[in-house]
Amino acid sequence: MEHHHYSSSSSLPFFLFSLIIFILFISQLLKLLDKKSKVTSKKKEKLPPGPWTLPLIGSIHHLVGKSLPHHRMRDLAKKYGPLMHFKLGEASIMVVSSPEVAKEVFKTFDINFAERPRHLGADILTYGSTNIATARYGGYWKQLRRICSMELLSPKRVSSFKSIREEEVMNLITWISDNTESCVNLSEKVASLTSAITARTIFGEKCKDQEQFISLLKNLGKIVERVFVVFSLFPSHTWLHYISGAKRETEKVHKNFDIVIKNIIKNKIIRMKNNEDDEDKSHTVDLLSILLNIVEDHGAYEYPMTINNVKAIVFDLYGAGIETSSAVIEWTISELVKNPEAMARAQEEVRKAFGTKESSSSSSSSLENLTYLKAVIKETMRLHPPFPLLLPRECRETCEINGYTIAAGSQVIVNAWAIGRDPNHWGGEEDAERFRPERFLECSIDYKGCDVEFIPFGAGRRICPGIYFAVSSIEICVAQLLYYFDWKVPKNGDIEGELDMTEYFGSTARRKNDLILVPIPWNSSNNN
């Protein structure tokens, strides 16, 4: 064990920490006094109820403990109500935990909550927040949405990448087939699969910089979780961003990312000028080529696109593409292994639809008829939404919801995890927590934002534009994994293993521990 000696040098960090706390206390006190002086000249606002606060940190202490943030917020909502006020650092946050209040945010006041809060970390990483997810609401963002819906992520465009999805999934199936009867880390393999699909979709051909790009973004999630809390809790304390090292570390990550993506774009421009992609008849037009053509076509857009805008959008597309899909695939297989009756029904449907192994590799067209599989994936996203707490929105103008004042500048966070388990909408306390895919065969509820009780991709103007892209990858991967293999939990000695379902909260809600399973090949010829 390392022993610490209390020298003058070792007491320095404690002194700096004490100094930071003191400065924060004084600055917050001055702000509080300023706010109180303003309240005397206007009618006091009626805030939603919420847990008690402490100086500086606000309500953060209520989220500390073994429970994950979205779990704890759901528990607190049972006490304080479906619209709850949280003070996190200096940020005033309204937490929404019911479909009824979510409907007010996403439908009644959709335009008013279409803004994103300013965030220094996002500004640094995404070239001034010029990506799709964090861009400020206005003309530029509306233009980005149109480009996404018409050029990048339309059903027709996503369908054009069918061969890429099929090829990469079959690469995974082949690898697993060569490693049957032994433990397979499905978490790692699925992450590699979604990464490969997304990279080929965005960049087209494989290149040396692409591997470095993927490696950088894999490490980015851990950095974001560690340093972004400073930007989120104390957005106006720029000095704290410096002294904590958060700004410096984020800028370092951004610099490394920029070097790599700059090389990728440079090589892509050379290929486009030499018409190399056109000469490759098997080449599907990739998203980077589309974006670079938009940059060249200045006159067609009100807000001319720059190379930095392209970098920001690529950052968005790749990060969202792998995180969402891989998390849902992991949880889907996990839930099916935990629920053998659902597994048997899903496999029977897939194997009947796909027929022999010779025809299954090109069976994307059969996916449309897999109604139970689609219900399984929906049920998985109900219980395990990839983003349990949707990205925060900012109130543009003061409004009133449920009799409470939502002040301009306040942030709104929707707890999609709590809404997906709301007993008032999902059959009561017990049924809401059960994995029961049949519920989606009995109703027409979908994840496209119309049904606010089921919002794994959000809703309203800020709904995720990549729904079709994500679901297309999820469906074919899960279908093929179920078609080719039966799945078992590794034995613990002679005892049948128990699958751990512990959740981890990070950039997405993933399994805490990797999904380790034993694949058992299924022989179609013996079952026809």
Q: Which of 315, 452, 445, 319 is nearest to 379 (CA)?
A: 445
**Is residue 474 very low, low, confident or very high in pLDDT (cuts 50, 70, 90)?**
very high
* Res. 20: pLDDT tops 60: no
CA angle 397, 403, 405 (to 5 degrees): 35
Count of beta carbons in the 10 Å neighbourhood of residue 410: 22
**Is residue 38 very low, low, confident or very high in pLDDT (cuts 50, 70, 90)?**
very low
Instruction: Tell whether 207 is in a known binding site.
Output: no
Domain boundaries, the chain: 45-526
Q: State the amino acid at position 275 in one-letter form.
A: N
Q: For residue 212, what pLDDT is reported? A: 80
Q: For residue 359, what pLDDT is reported? A: 54
The rounded mean pLDDT for the chain is: 86
**Sheet of strand 91-96, all strands in order from the earlier edge strand to the far edge:** 83-88, 91-96, 411-414, 393-394
* Res. 358: pLDDT tops 70: no
State how far Cα 464 lies from the chain centre.
9
Instruction: Give 522 or 173, the one with higher predicted confidence.
Output: 173
Domain 45-526 has CATH 3.20.20.70: no
| Weakest mean pLDDT among 95-109, 145-159, 496-510 | 496-510
Q: For residue 280, what pLDDT is reported? A: 56
Question: Residue range 84-97: average pLDDT?
Answer: 93
Q: For residue 215, what pLDDT is reported? A: 78
- SS3 of 459, please? coil
Q: What is the DSSP string of 5-73?
A: ---TTTTHHHHHHHHHHHHHHHHHHHHHHHHHHHHTTSPPP-PPP----BTTTBTGGGG-SSS-HHHHH
* Res. 3: pLDDT tops 70: no
Query: Tens digits of per-residue pLDDT, 425-469?
Result: 999 999 999 999 999 998 999 999 899 999 999 999 999 999 999
Distance between CA 173 and CA 76 in Å, rounded?
44
Tokens of 327: 């998390």
Q: For residue 126, what pLDDT is reported? A: 93
Query: Tens digits of per-residue pLDDT, 331-348?
Result: 999 999 999 999 999 999
Q: For residue 357, what pLDDT is reported? A: 59
Q: For residue 66, what pLDDT is reported? A: 80
Q: What are phi and psi of 404, to 5 degrees?
A: -110, 150
How far lies 15's CA from each of 10, 11, 22, 226, in Å? 9, 6, 10, 22
pTM: 0.89
Q: Which of 400, 395, 394, 401 is nearest to 100 (CA)?
A: 401
Query: Tens digits of per-residue pLDDT, 144-202?
Result: 999 999 999 999 999 999 999 999 999 999 999 998 878 999 999 999 999 999 999 99
Q: For residue 45, what pLDDT is reported? A: 75
Distance between CA 371 and CA 27 in Å, rounded?
57
Question: Residue range 502-525: average pLDDT?
Answer: 88
* Res. 262: pLDDT tops 60: yes
* Res. 98: pLDDT tops 80: yes
* Res. 9: pLDDT tops 50: no
